[in-house]
Structure 1
Amino acid sequence: MRPAPEEVRTVVCAGTGVIGGGWVAYFLSRGFRVVGWDPGSGAEDRLRHLVDAAWPALTELGLADGADRANLVYEPDLPAACAQADFVQESAPEDLDLKRRLLADIDAATPEGVVISSSTSGYAMTDMQTECTHPGRTVVGHPFNPPYLIPLVEVVGGKLTDPDTVAWTSEFFRLAGKSVIAMDHEVPGFIANRLQEALWREALHMVAAGEATVEQIDLSITDGPGLRWPVHGPMLTFHLAGGQGGMAHMLDHFGPSLLSPWTRLEAAELTPELRDAVVAGCDREAGDRTIDDLVAERDRGVIAVLRALGRA
Structure 2
Amino acid sequence: MDDRERAEQPETGYRYTQAQIDRRLTKHMQDAAISQGLRVADAWSDWLCITEMTLRMTPVHAKSVFEHGTLAQDPPEIAAEWARIKARYGDGFQHLEAAYGDLLHCIQPIAGIEPEIRDVLGPLHMAIGNANIKLGQFFTPWELSLVAAQSTMEGAATLVYQRMEQAIRSNPMLAMMTPQTDGWINDDNARSIAESLLPIVWERYDTVTIYDPSCGSGGMLLAAAAILPRWMVVMGLVAFYGQDLSRDCTRMTQINMMLFGLNGWGLRFTTAMAHLRESPLAKRFREEVPPTAPEPMIASVSVCPTDTMYPDIEIGAQGALFNLH
Q: TM-score, normalised by structure 1?
A: 0.23
More strand by share: 1
